[in-house]
Structure 1
Amino acid sequence: MHEFGIAEAILAAVEKRADGRRVCRARVQVGALLRVAEPSINDAFAMVSEGTVAEGARLDLVTLPVRVTCGDCGSVAMSVDPHAVCPGCGSADVDSEGGDDLVLESIQLAEATYVPGDSRGDRGDAGRSS
């Protein structure tokens, strides 16, 4: 199951960006040629992220299309199908470009239950008087 390798790569990027803070969600751009299914990658991510800042986090996938150029008619199209045929003539003689990306787009941090200090920039604890 190739999802485990991809899940490990995503986890490494998430941990680096989170910098020790808990993560509850991550949005990932995945090229169509990687053939990643959201349920499978979430299962793999759940396993590899156990005991990390991303434990329990959910992945949202954005599938990036592959550019296909037909060798018969020259038609160019975008497709999220990794086994695309030419939409113009139906030929299977297509060259593909791109579609192998893996990009961590964003993470959503878990909200802290208590953060000392004033969020408006005061370095002191807003609940205490000096």
Structure 2
Amino acid sequence: MTQNDKRRGNKGGRPLKEVRKNIILTFKCSAFEKMIIAQKAKELSLNISEYIRQMSVNGKVDQQVKIFPAEVLALSGTLNHIAANINQVAKKRNKDEDLSMLERVDLQNLVPMLKGIAEEIKNYLR
């Protein structure tokens, strides 16, 4: 049993962080300054605390703006669509309901789509 397990009573859950951010700093600024800080943090997809922390410690903020290619967004949308269809089929099958002919055709069309997506991923990773 590790020290963390003893302290938490071995309840499981989220593991403790190595470096906890449990110290609160406060400072005063004008409403206009707060608006500017909030806007700059938003532009970098950071919350205000993280923006101020990085600026204070490093003197700059590492830009972590994630821009996904259109292909990745399209793939994500297609996978979500397929997942929704599979979920509907699973619900029907769990209720012992038969699938309609249209639903069977949709399922048959999903198989080649899934194989195509798998092939695109393989090609992309080569």
The two structures have a TM-score, normalised by structure 2, of 0.20
Q: Highest relative contact order (Cα 8 Å, sep 6+), 1 or 2?
A: 1
Greater Rg by CA: 2
Q: Which has the higher strand share?
A: 1
